[in-house]
Amino acid sequence: MTEEPGEPTGRVRITSPLTSAPAHVRRSVRQEIDESTGIGEVYMRSLIRAQLRAALTVAATLVLSIGALPLLFLAFDSVTEMHVLGVPLPWLILGVLVYPGLFVLGWLYIRQVERAERDFTELVEPHRPDSP
C-alpha cells in the first residue's frame, strides 16, 4: 500500500458487528399507548377523531333535517297544505316518518364506529386470534 505524502487521511474505526448494544426491539402499539409516548398519542387521537367525526356527522344530519323542518313549514305553504292518503303532510312527517329516520341514522352510526374500533384493534393487536 503506497501513500502520497501530504494527503491527509481520516481515521477509520473498524468495529466488530458483534457488540454488546441491544438489538432494536420492535415496540408494539399497545406499549406506545400504555406509556403515553408520542406515537401512542397519535394513535389515540386518530381513534378519537374518527369516532367524533361519526358523531358530528349524525348531529349535522339532524340539524339539517329535523332542525330545518320548522323553517320549511314556515317558508312553503304548499308543503303544509299537501295531503298524502288523506293525512296532512306535516302530520305524516312529524308523527310517523321521523322515527324510522332516527333509527336508521343510529344504525348507520353504529356500523361506522364499530368498524373504526375494529380497525383500531387490528392496528394495536394485529395477531389476536379473536380479532375479526
Partner 1 sequence: MNTTYGMVAVALVAVATLGIGAFGLRMSRTTSDFYVASRSVSPVLNSSAIGGEYLSAASFLGVAGLVLAYGADMLWYPIGWTTGYLLLLVFVAAPLRRSGAYTIPDFAQVRLQSLGVRRVASVLVVAVGWLYLMPQFQGAGLTLRTVTGAPTWVGTVVVAVIVVVNVVSGGMRSITLVQAFQYWLKLTALLVPLFFLVHAWAGDDRPSPVAPAEWFRPFSQADGPGLYLTYSVMVATFLGTMGLPHVVVRFYTNPDGHAARRTTLFVLALLGVFYLLPTVYGVLGRIYARDLLVSGRTDTVVLELPSRMVGGTTGELLAALLTAGAFAAFLSTSSGLTMSIAGVVGQGLARGRLTTVTALRLAAAGCVVIPLGLALAAERIAVANSVTFAFALAASTFCPLLVLGIWWRGLTAHGAIAGLVGGGVCAATATVVTITASPGGWFGALMSQPAAWTVPIGLGLMIGVSLLTHKSVPANVSRTMVRLHTPERLEVDRRY
Q: Which residues bind partner 1 (CB under 8 A)?
A: 30, 33-34, 36, 41, 44, 47-48, 51-52, 54-55, 58-59, 62, 66-67, 70, 73-74, 80-81, 88, 90-91, 94-96, 98-100, 102-103, 105-107, 109-110, 113-114, 117, 120-121, 124-125, 130-131
Q: Which three cell numbers stand for residue 113?
A: 364506529
Q: How far apart are CA 106 and CA 113, in angstroms?
A: 11
Task: Decide whether 74 or 84 has the Cβ nearer to partner 1.
Answer: 74
Q: How far apart are CA 111 and CA 88, in angstroms?
A: 34
Minimum Å gap between C-beta 13 and partner 1 is: 42
Minimum Å gap between C-beta 1 and partner 1 is: 59
Q: How far apart are CA 52 and CA 58, in angstroms?
A: 10
Minimum Å gap between C-beta 51 and partner 1 is: 7
Q: Cβ of 64: how many Cβ atoms within 10 Å?
A: 9
Task: Decide whether 22 or 86 has the Cβ nearer to partner 1.
Answer: 86
Contact call for residues 68 and 74 (beta carbons, < 8 A): no
Minimum Å gap between C-beta 56 and partner 1 is: 8
Contact call for residues 94 and 69 (beta carbons, < 8 A): yes
Which residues, 6+ apart, have CB-to-CB distance to 62 below 8 Å? 105
Task: Decide whether 64 or 114 has the Cβ nearer to partner 1.
Answer: 114
Task: Decide whether 84 or 96 has the Cβ nearer to partner 1.
Answer: 96
